[in-house]
Chains A and B, each alone.
Chain A
């Protein structure tokens, strides 16, 4: 049984935690760390936070390799022939397109797609406070959706249990990267990153330039083979040496993808919205449609591709403020299940790893925490018990969730946020908020 219930926000974690003198000294002695080192999502960082990629680089090396090999073959075997028979601009154009495609690809892969930082504990508690207005004594997890009006159209905002906030419109949570991404399009394994608000234009220029590149190479290769066969030289050898086969197969998929994304850009849609059919006519009434569209193809294109470039919100290279170290410490405390809250007086004197190990053991031995149980210390905790279970609380890519949702979050059609795959429990008799306990 993996990580199960909704994590109640421990109010004790919000205030300055009672810290022993020893801990304070330890905090001061720590070197200041950059924010990317404590980033909660599953991304990886390079060059001291300048470069961000998803945890699995996917097939990015393969993509790069294919492009480089195809162009290499082209330059090596087709260009010499075509330069003498046609014009010297052929390798020049090819080179420019190749550079453009590779640079766009790298920009797409290494740019923050528009990751939203997770809610701070105070913010999350404030949201819960706003929701829990009835003042009942039983605890209810926040409802999943909140309705707002955008351009006189009703849009539902979903609550993200991982990031503990209501997602802004057009934002979606990527389960592979474990982040909420603004204007989430899809998670592209070829590029090894999510495609969202900040890198969609790079992605689009990548696929367009790649389409031009492959079409250009394909055209040149066909010309080459035609000319060679006319001159009576060996046709089979020419075909073997040219990147014809790779080009032929990739060209259709890339052209198709470019066409699809051109349609999306022109109608100001994301892949996620298109696949879910959020604004399709069969789901909407007569007066609705895409509330974000400007109803003009040119305007939509310009807004999506040439609009202002928002900055990254996660501030990877900033330093973690030591003064506010208690939120950082309390962030780990926040993840603890409520039945360990009683031990917080002892907690701060233990190392975080010890605390995590205790949690893991507690989960393993008890499963869910029913309400109202006496909150006793889990007895006989061994640190060594942690390795097998790993850290279920922190490893958010539980297999259970992946089996319920395909690895591409764009295909999460009917299912809401990924956290519903956790076994959520309604403590007490709150009104039915529609949670489905999934064993």
Chain B
């Protein structure tokens, strides 16, 4: 029987999802932390992930930039009682398309060869961008065997088995 959370963690063979959290140091703008998650130490070079996150951050800065074009868009929308939003694609949406294209490209070139997958933050509520293990090794243990490849939270659930 396991009695210690640390023991359980060490025994976990792999973590399927790694989360890159939001960085709120500049307010509510969308920005992700460039801190390198330790779980990816052997999987990918630090600089590559940092570069990806920095580029993503710059895209979001461009999307949320307040300046001439966004004001024009806003005033036009206001004057037409915001009906124009139903017809026109906003600048934010255009940049989001660029972002998903960039993520796809990065996945093809850099992450898929290493068995990882970067998820578009828009799919996850702009909170995290997730690096997923494509191989999904835990799925092979799905036929009734106890799975150890997941994030362990509560040891009391495991005390009873033994």
Query: B40 within 8 Å of A by Cβ?
Result: no
Please state if B22 and A15 are interface contacts (CB–CB under 8 Å). no
Number of interface residues of A (CB under 8 A): 69
Q: Is B91 an interface residue (CB 8 A)?
A: yes
- Determine the residue in chain B with the shortest Cβ distance to A292: B27
Contact A303 B66 (CB under 8 A): yes
From residue A162, how far is it (CB to closest CB) to chain B in Å?
Answer: 14
* CB nearest to B160 among chain A residues: A375
Contacting residues of chain B (2-26) with chain A, CB-CB under 8 angstroms: 3-6, 9, 16-17, 19, 22, 24-26
**A338 CB contact (under 8 Å) in B25, B151, B156:** B156
- A307's contact among B66, B145, B156, by CB below 8 Å, is which? B66
Q: Return B104 CB to nearest CB of chain A, in Å.
A: 17
A85 CA / B123 CA spacing, docked (Å): 60
Give Cα A156 to B127, complex, Å: 17
B153 touches A100 (CB 8 A): no
Chain A residues with CB below 8 A from B65, complex form: 308
Contact B138 A16 (CB under 8 A): yes
Assembly CA distance A292 to B66 (angstroms): 14
In the complex, chain A residues whose CB is within 8 Å of the CB of B82: 103-104, 107, 201-202, 205
- B3–A128 contact, CB under 8 A? no
B47 at the interface (CB under 8 A from A): no
B128 at the interface (CB under 8 A from A): yes
B28 contacts partner chain A, Cβ-Cβ < 8 Å: yes
Return chain B residues, CB-CB under 8 Å to A150: 24-27
> A117's contact among B26, B78, B125, by CB below 8 Å, is which?
B125
A126 closest partner in B (C-beta): B19
Cα(A201)–Cα(B147), bound, Å: 49
A129 near B28: Cβ-Cβ < 8 Å: no
Is B142 touching A18 in the complex (CB atoms < 8 A)?
yes
Can you list, as one digit per residue, whether each of B87-101 has a CB less than 8 Å from chain A (1) or not (0)? 000111100100000
Return the CB mask of B113-150 against A: 1 if under 8 Å, else 0: 00000000011111110100000001101111101011
Q: Is there contact, CB below 8 Å, between B26 and A15? A: no
Proximity string of chain B (29-50) to chain A, C-beta cutoff 8 Å, 1 when within and 0 when not: 0000000000000000000000
A→B interface (CB under 8 Å): 8-12, 14-19, 99-100, 103-104, 107, 116-117, 119-120, 122-123, 125-126, 128-129, 132, 135-137, 139, 148-151, 155, 157, 165, 168-170, 182-183, 201-202, 205, 291-292, 299, 302-303, 305-311, 313, 315, 338, 341-342, 345, 371-372, 374-375, 427
Give the 4 A-B CB pairs with smallest separation, nearest first: A306-B74, A15-B147, A16-B142, A117-B125
Given contacts A103-B82, A168-B28, 5 further A-B contacts (CB under 8 A): A10-B154, A129-B153, A135-B6, A139-B154, A308-B66
